[in-house]
Amino acid sequence: MAEAKKIGYGDLSGRVGVEEIRARGVDVDKLIRKLIANAAAEFSSTYYYYTILRMHLAGYEDYKEICEDARLEDRAHWELIVPRIYELGGELPNDLPTFHNQAGCAPAKLPDPPTAVNILTLLLESERCAIRSWGEICDLTVGKDPRTYDMAARILNEEIEHEAWFIELLAHERDGKSIPSGHFRRGEPGEAPYSKNRRFYNP
Amino acid sequence: MWRVELVLPEGRAELAVGEDQFLWQAAGRAGIALPSRCRIGWCLSCAARLLAPGEVDQGAARRYFAEDRAAGFILPCTARPRSDLIVLTHQAEAMRQHRLGLGLPASLG
């Protein structure tokens, strides 16, 4: 481990919390860049567009509820990521279109035609992009930056669950097959048990 | 089938790729794991550059600009060959800088 840059007594020009992870080998600038891309993906590529997808699942109330959970949990992820970006010395662009364009995953735009199968396929592939994105953050930080790693692992846990939900629903809707997620229900819509540190549904 | 030569960090590999196949898919089938994240031509993770004149169809990409084509950048996850190709892989950062330098949208991921 390289020696961390010295931060003097009362010195506000640097952060020990940043210099320590840099000394452990984290490329902090790259990490900030990737966190902004992931924040943009959670907020604009999924939370915003999942809202529209959810509206078009009328008549599929069970699918709508699951989409709602994923939508709200992605918003929870956004809320979790932003403070870490600023702690590390980064900041969000002061312009929403710029932020949208920096996303690490494509916008989950309403498919044409907006059938349940097409919407579920889009939801599934969006979750898969998120899993790959958070896996990258885990790889960048494991053993070096426990705070970011813990956050990324919590989000990754939920993205993996979202993928399992949409596999289950798409298998049923498109293929007439049963591929259970194996999960119990969320206690409330968008409960986010990992990223909000809630207890699991276990009455 | 078109002949596609991949120039990878670990060496060179040659593939035969059909007109309806994406380069990234064809590489995967040959046991070559190219980088990727979104797999729909948005995030630049798979970005590559043509080392010799060649043609690809990028019609399946969510975001691809004429300026990318002019500079020889391609997105293998959504690129279908239309000629023989020599492709330098792992160019995500170079393509990101190319886009940002021209004021074009680019994923930061």
Q: Is the Cβ of A38 closer than 8 Å to some Cβ of chain B?
A: yes
Tell whether the model's pLDDT for residue B83 goes beyond 80: yes
Tell whether the model's pLDDT for residue B108 goes beyond 80: yes
> In CATH, what number does A21-175 get?
1.20.1260.10
Q: Looking at beta carbons, which residues of chain A come within 8 Å of B42?
A: 103, 105-106
Among B37, B39, B105, select the one facing A104 at the smallest CB separation: B37
Contact between chains at A133 and B109 (C-beta distance less than 8 A): yes
If phi > 0 it is left, if psi is from -120 to 50 it is alpha, else beta; for residue A10 that is left
Tell whether the model's pLDDT for residue A199 goes beyond 90: no
Closest residue on chain B to A126 (Cα): B38
ipTM of the complex: 0.92
CB pairs under 8 A between A and B: 52
CB atoms within 10 A of CB B27: 24
Among A34, A106, A136, select the one facing B108 at the smallest CB separation: A34
Average pLDDT of the segment spanning A105-126: 97
Write out pLDDT tens, residues A68-90: 999 999 999 999 999 999 999 99
How does residue B100 score in pLDDT terms, banded at 50, 70 and 90? very high
CB atoms within 10 A of CB B88: 19
Q: How far apart are CA B74 and CA B96, in angstroms?
A: 12
Q: Looking at beta carbons, which residues of chain A come within 8 Å of B103?
A: none
pTM for the full predicted model = 0.94
In percent, how much of chain A has pLDDT > 70? Answer: 100
How does residue A153 score in pLDDT terms, banded at 50, 70 and 90? very high
CB atoms within 10 A of CB A183: 12
Contact between chains at B108 and A105 (C-beta distance less than 8 A): no
B interface with A, Cβ–Cβ < 8 A, is 36-40, 42-43, 62-63, 105-109
Among B37, B42, B108, select the one facing A33 at the smallest CB separation: B108
Sequence spans of domains, chain A: 21-175
How does residue A110 score in pLDDT terms, banded at 50, 70 and 90? very high
